[in-house]
Chains A and B, each alone.
Chain A
Amino acid sequence: MKKVNIILAVVVAVLAIGLTMLGAGSIVGAQSGFLSWLSPFLKGGAAVQQGIGAMGQGLKTLDQLEADNRRLVTENMELRASNQILRDMEIENNRLRVALDFRERSLFRLVATRVITRDASTWWNTIKINRGFEDGVEAESTVITDIGIVGKTTTVSKNEAIVLLITDENCKIGAYVEGSREKGIVSGVRVQNSQEPELQMNFLSKNANLQPGQKIYSQGVGAVFPSGLLVGTVKSFRQRELDGQAILTPAVDFSTLSDSFVIVGER
């Protein structure tokens, strides 16, 4: 091999090693820029995909009716999502009024989003949504549907954001079990089956004895997930040496997820 080639290869290797040492902030900034580059192509692709999917339906109904219907469905889902938060807040509020006599909570502002793509990576469970910092979305914002929690945003570009789903092992939520004092940490499992995704709830007490069907809600600890949002339902429970572990079914059906909402602040 020529000397020049060896030097060039070493330069590339050093450059790559230098890149591996970049901090998270720089990585997010660079990735956000790349996402903005991808944006028109992803949106175009999503539109084509959606067009193909809606082709059969389009033949049966008028375009105008379809557009109206989509708008109303989105509006309805937004109202249902707001309603769910209100309902959960009311329950929590009543409970805290009795216990503490007073607690004030604000309503959330929601931004309606549409899923552009489901991530092509093998080991992470993410989706991309069509809202970015221009719409008020920030990193580490909660993403929900009218049913429950979807995940949290990670990298946010101008008009898109990457959402880490709750089915990912890195997405951790402090949660409690409906009708009990049991609390634990919910996270995804490392390798998911997209047909039947599962969550695990760790650090429960050994004798928690959770029953299938019991609902799990976010506890509101940490800065990301507000309290009272449905995470999933108990599928099974097992005792371990030091604690108990529950396997959960996520509340949201990720295989059909298309519309969601990002909590962008308090009203």
Chain B
Amino acid sequence: MRDALTVLGLVVGAFFLLVMQEFIPPMGFLSDARVNLIPVVFCYGAMIVPFPLMLVLTVAIGLMCDFATVQVVGGSAEIGLGWSVLFYLLVGLICQGLRPLVLRGHWELHTLMSASTAVLLPALQFAMITFRRMEEGGFFYSSAVTWKILGPGIITLFVAPVFWFALTLVLGRRTGFQRLREI
């Protein structure tokens, strides 16, 4: 029950983060990279809750991200619904693998996973867009692309630890260290 409430809280939190992100301007000093805090919330949940609830979190957050970003132009979507669900499923599986370590107090794994996810997501999106537009626009690359991909990860590296401890406090979860003492 407690884990289910945690997942519910994280889904609601992710929803409000999505809304909040709409009002955060792009970071000019990182070539207009965008802040993406959803991986921080997702990785937290995926590392804390049991496997079936991780899947619930994956579907909910994946769908929300898809709805928020999918663009239908001229009767077709470049990146359709479902891709974020698949992506977060893979991330979730890795997080579940790391879960025993996290519960033993390795909170830094959450930061690393969040940052990696925040980098991989725009990288995959860019790869898919490039593939789709290959015929019309060809391959495009500039330093701005690098920063747009790395930027969210850099921000996440700083934000994730704060989120980890804040969420642990707010959601009333026991920290890994406390659980280790119990073991």
Binding site for B on A (CB under 8 A): 1-2, 4-5, 8-9, 12-13, 15-22, 24, 27-28, 30-31, 34-35, 38, 41-42, 45-46, 49, 117-124, 126, 128, 154-155, 162, 164, 169-171, 189-195
List 19 extra interface pairs beyond A120-B36, A191-B140, CB under 8 A.
Answer: A1-B51, A12-B55, A12-B85, A16-B89, A19-B82, A20-B83, A20-B86, A21-B82, A24-B77, A30-B67, A31-B67, A34-B67, A123-B126, A123-B148, A154-B73, A189-B140, A190-B137, A190-B140, A195-B28
* A117 neighbours in B (Cβ, 8 Å): 22-23
Is the beta-carbon distance between A192 and B32 smaller than 8 angstroms?
yes
Contacts A16-B62, A16-B86, A45-B23 known; A155 to B72 CB distance under 8 Å? yes
**Least CB distance, A253 to chain B, in whole angstroms:** 15
**How far apart sit A31 and B77, CA to CA, in the bound complex (Å)?**
12
**How far apart sit A155 and B28, CA to CA, in the bound complex (Å)?**
28
Is the beta-carbon distance between B82 and A16 smaller than 8 angstroms?
yes
**How far apart sit A49 and B23, CA to CA, in the bound complex (Å)?**
8
- B14-35: contact bitstring with A at CB < 8 Å (1 yes, 0 no)? 0010111111111010011111
**How far apart sit A117 and B82, CA to CA, in the bound complex (Å)?**
24
* A16 neighbours in B (Cβ, 8 Å): 59, 62, 82-83, 85-86, 89
**Least CB distance, B65 to chain A, in whole angstroms:** 10
Contacts A117-B23, A164-B71, A192-B32 known; A9 to B89 CB distance under 8 Å? yes
Residue of B nearest to A48 (CB): B23
* A13 neighbours in B (Cβ, 8 Å): 86, 89
**How far apart sit A193 and B64, CA to CA, in the bound complex (Å)?**
27
Is the beta-carbon distance between B122 and A122 smaller than 8 angstroms?
yes
**How far apart sit A17 and B73, CA to CA, in the bound complex (Å)?**
21
Is the beta-carbon distance between B52 and A119 smaller than 8 angstroms?
no
**Least CB distance, B150 to chain A, in whole angstroms:** 11
**Least CB distance, A245 to chain B, in whole angstroms:** 12
Residue of B nearest to A38 (CB): B19
Contacts A8-B52, A30-B81 known; A191 to B142 CB distance under 8 Å? yes
Is the beta-carbon distance between A191 and B144 smaller than 8 angstroms?
yes
Is the beta-carbon distance between A123 and B122 smaller than 8 angstroms?
yes
Residue of A nearest to B73 (CB): A170
Is the beta-carbon distance between A42 and B22 smaller than 8 angstroms?
yes
* B78 neighbours in A (Cβ, 8 Å): 170
Residue of B nearest to A4 (CB): B52
Tell yes or no: B166 within 8 A of A by CB: no
Is the beta-carbon distance between B52 and A5 smaller than 8 angstroms?
yes
Q: Which of A12, A41, A117 has the most CB of B within 10 A?
A: A12
Is the beta-carbon distance between A190 and B129 smaller than 8 angstroms?
yes
Is the beta-carbon distance between A191 and B28 smaller than 8 angstroms?
no
**Least CB distance, B133 to chain A, in whole angstroms:** 7
**How far apart sit A45 and B19, CA to CA, in the bound complex (Å)?**
8
Tell yes or no: B75 within 8 A of A by CB: yes
**How far apart sit A101 and B55, CA to CA, in the bound complex (Å)?**
68
Is the beta-carbon distance between B144 and A31 smaller than 8 angstroms?
no
